[in-house]
A and B are shown apart, each in its own frame.
Chain A
């Protein structure tokens, strides 16, 4: 996996158009965020603190909140299903779809369905899945993956989208308005003919059993009201205690994500269609996914990974993400939050290397609306990854982990004694001319001198 990452990074760094697309779009998003908080800049620290406390409180009470949520939803006629793994979640969705004889499925934007690779699973099992969020629709049309959790097509510019529409939809237009209109026309008929609508959940309120869905395009409302069946997906940390918890988190989410004070649509789903109602799905299901989150919860620091409300501000402000783009991470959730979440939900073997790909600049920590200590968590994951336990001798050598450990042991041996340190300095300053030679033979330092001159001791 680290090899794939290195390869992806190389590819991205050698693609000037891609990097320019990212730079332009992310600068705009970062600026929008700043402007959005301008009217409450004095209150911002207090609001972040409040949002953090509120989310942490939910995590502390998670088991009871989840059972309260289940009970309320059941009372309201929404079926609740529990999935331990992505595979289980996919199978549950499949069986609900089959029971309802649903073949054509329209989807709202949802990152958790990316995490479980639901589209791939359903398509392999003969279902027809259509993404209805404009960005996700374009991603699907291109046969690619979303590169950002809020702005999936951030890597494409308008011209590239126009070209794609010409190829795939035989639509010829160039302005954003024209392209959006074409997608809208295409999707409109799909909403009416779909057998089921799928969505994510932004906040699930335990007190009232309400599923809140935040969106701008109205496609989420279409997906959750027109087809006869609605299946919602959430990971278990999405639950909040009270309805009064929602406004603050909603406001922090909108301002941080898109620089809006409020989104165009805010959906509150609490029941399937009632007898006297003319619209709404007859059946509503909620699939709640664990995917190792219950283990993460047991550690007081790592737990804070789950505070996330998926605003994407960390990636918009991340210099690594800006340079390499979302696809390089090869992960459902990229960027700083992905670096701490992916190794924990999908395994250190697969994603451990992401934790090392940070300069610890903490730009993400500065903007996180719920104050996730991303750098502290990165450091903890790095510390866990230095352990050589469970590695074969070959793995230790091959991964370079043993070499790194020995290098730091040697470093500690010298730097923990003033005498040895002085001796080391004497040698360094006595033979500076030898340094370039030494550097050439030190594999670690060679990575420095590949692109940079070595600073000569003065």
Chain B
């Protein structure tokens, strides 16, 4: 089976390991993975900030790159949600483009959900570890499949998945929100980090993973500033290391 992997701009810019791991794991599960050439960004930063024409300009570029009718897999729930649920809103008045948008919408999948659907062999070769998996807002409330990451991790023999009291609460990133309302955004991150810190000291939590790098980047940036040292990894990277 052929699939497209849409790298996402955040992975391109800041953490190329995510797309490498996402690709490797899909290949191990028997797929032929084509990393999409010409993919840049889904357009979400501009769309969420209200700059629709800039968002459209970039989104148009994404619409033009899918030559074959293969599934498109994104290692990020928020980018997947943008293409699956928000392109129809962004292009709602564009007669000529709308059909293309619908076609794309049907083909978009979030990485962890697609990966799990392949029933991969989850034979854990790693050492015993306690992890927390941050379920992103887009994973919970838009793609509605954050449980997938939990169940993937639960199937690993040496991994103990820990939970937080306010697990479903936003980490405070929110794109330009983190810049425009930096203090609120930071306060939200701190709430999450307070709960994480308690798990670190009381339960020996030693890794933060998640299926959305943007949230992880935000939490990691804040934790580094606060001097809290805990390794942060995209779910795909974490899984690849252990399988």
Interface residues of B in 28-61 (CB under 8 A from A): 37-41, 43, 45-55, 57-58, 60-61
- Assess the B183–A13 pair: CB atoms within 8 A: yes
Knowing A359-B174, A361-B137, A447-B179, the reply to whether A457 touches B58 (Cβ < 8 A) is: no
Q: Which of A379, A445, A447 contacts B180 (CB 8 A)?
A: A447
Q: Given the complex, which residues of A lie within 8 Å of B51, measured CB to CB?
A: 383, 386, 404-405, 408, 412
Knowing A416-B40, A452-B221, A457-B13, the reply to whether A359 touches B49 (Cβ < 8 A) is: no
Q: Given the complex, which residues of B lie within 8 Å of A425, measured CB to CB?
A: 12-13
B184 CB–A CB distance under 8 Å: yes
> Closest approach, in angstroms, between the C-beta of B51 and any C-beta of chain A?
4
Q: Given the complex, which residues of B lie within 8 Å of A421, measured CB to CB?
A: 40
B15 CB–A CB distance under 8 Å: yes
> Closest approach, in angstroms, between the C-beta of B39 and any C-beta of chain A?
8
A95 CB–B CB distance under 8 Å: no
- Assess the A418–B38 pair: CB atoms within 8 A: yes
Knowing A376-B89, A447-B179, A455-B220, the reply to whether A418 touches B170 (Cβ < 8 A) is: no
* A324 nearest CB neighbor, chain B only: B184
- Assess the A415–B40 pair: CB atoms within 8 A: yes
B161 CB–A CB distance under 8 Å: no
- Assess the B54–A453 pair: CB atoms within 8 A: no
- Assess the B14–A361 pair: CB atoms within 8 A: no
Q: Which of A404, A417, A418 contacts B49 (CB 8 A)?
A: A404
A-B contact count (CB 8 A): 162
Contact with B along A338-358 (1 / 0, CB 8 A): 000000000000000000111
Q: Given the complex, which residues of A lie within 8 Å of B176, measured CB to CB?
A: 356
Q: Given the complex, which residues of B lie within 8 Å of A452, measured CB to CB?
A: 186, 189, 218, 221-222, 224-225
B103 CB–A CB distance under 8 Å: no
Give how many A residues have a beta carbon under 8 Å from the other chain's beta carbons.
51
Interface residues of B in 206-220 (CB under 8 A from A): 217-218, 220
Q: Which of B38, B54, B217 contacts A408 (CB 8 A)?
A: B54
Q: Given the complex, which residues of B lie within 8 Å of A450, measured CB to CB?
A: 182
Q: Given the complex, which residues of B lie within 8 Å of A418, measured CB to CB?
A: 37-40, 61
Knowing A386-B50, A411-B46, the reply to whether A360 touches B221 (Cβ < 8 A) is: no
* B12 nearest CB neighbor, chain A only: A425
* B192 nearest CB neighbor, chain A only: A319
Q: Which of A13, A412, A457 contacts B187 (CB 8 A)?
A: A13
- Assess the B180–A356 pair: CB atoms within 8 A: yes
B21 CB–A CB distance under 8 Å: no
Q: Tell me what chain A mostly uses at the interface: helix, strand, loop, or mixed.
A: helix
Q: How far is the CA of A384 from the CA of B52 in the complex (A)?
A: 10
Q: How far is the CA of A103 from the CA of B217 in the complex (A)?
A: 60
Q: Given the complex, which residues of B lie within 8 Å of A456, measured CB to CB?
A: 14
Q: Given the complex, which residues of B lie within 8 Å of A416, measured CB to CB?
A: 40, 57-58, 60-61
Q: Which of B12, B141, B175 contacts A365 (CB 8 A)?
A: B141
Contact with B along A1-34 (1 / 0, CB 8 A): 0000000011001000000000000000000000
B188 CB–A CB distance under 8 Å: yes
Q: Which of B39, B52, B179, B188 contacts A319 (CB 8 A)?
A: B188
- Assess the B225–A320 pair: CB atoms within 8 A: no
A162 CB–B CB distance under 8 Å: no
Q: Tell me what chain B mostly uses at the interface: helix, strand, loop, or mixed.
A: helix
B16 CB–A CB distance under 8 Å: yes
- Assess the B141–A363 pair: CB atoms within 8 A: yes
- Assess the A458–B16 pair: CB atoms within 8 A: yes
Q: How far is the CA of A425 from the CA of B48 in the complex (A)?
A: 23
Knowing A323-B184, A382-B50, A457-B14, the reply to whether A363 touches B177 (Cβ < 8 A) is: no
> Residue among A323, A360, A376, A458 with the most chain B CB within 10 A?
A360
Knowing A363-B168, A418-B40, A452-B222, the reply to whether A323 touches B191 (Cβ < 8 A) is: yes
- Assess the B221–A453 pair: CB atoms within 8 A: yes
Q: How far is the CA of A354 from the CA of B123 in the complex (A)?
A: 49
* B222 nearest CB neighbor, chain A only: A452
- Assess the A359–B221 pair: CB atoms within 8 A: no
* B51 nearest CB neighbor, chain A only: A408
Q: How far is the CA of A453 from the CA of B186 in the complex (A)?
A: 12
Q: Which of A324, A357, A428 contacts B177 (CB 8 A)?
A: A357
Knowing A363-B137, A363-B168, A458-B14, the reply to whether A358 touches B41 (Cβ < 8 A) is: no
Q: Given the complex, which residues of B lie within 8 Å of A320, measured CB to CB?
A: 184, 188
B142 CB–A CB distance under 8 Å: yes
Q: Given the complex, which residues of A lie within 8 Å of B37, measured CB to CB?
A: 418
- Assess the A453–B168 pair: CB atoms within 8 A: no
A116 CB–B CB distance under 8 Å: no
Q: How far is the CA of A13 from the CA of B180 in the complex (A)?
A: 16
- Assess the B15–A448 pair: CB atoms within 8 A: no
Q: Which of B54, B89, B186, B225 contacts A412 (CB 8 A)?
A: B54
> Closest approach, in angstroms, between the C-beta of B47 and any C-beta of chain A?
7
Binding site for B on A (CB under 8 A): 9-10, 13, 319-320, 323-324, 356-363, 365-366, 376, 379, 381-386, 404-405, 408-409, 411-412, 415-418, 421, 425, 428, 444-445, 447-448, 450-458
**24 A-B pairs (CB sep. < 8 Å):** A13-B183, A323-B184, A324-B187, A359-B173, A359-B178, A361-B141, A361-B170, A363-B169, A365-B141, A379-B48, A383-B52, A385-B50, A386-B51, A411-B45, A417-B40, A448-B221, A451-B225, A452-B186, A452-B218, A453-B222, A453-B224, A455-B14, A457-B13, A458-B14
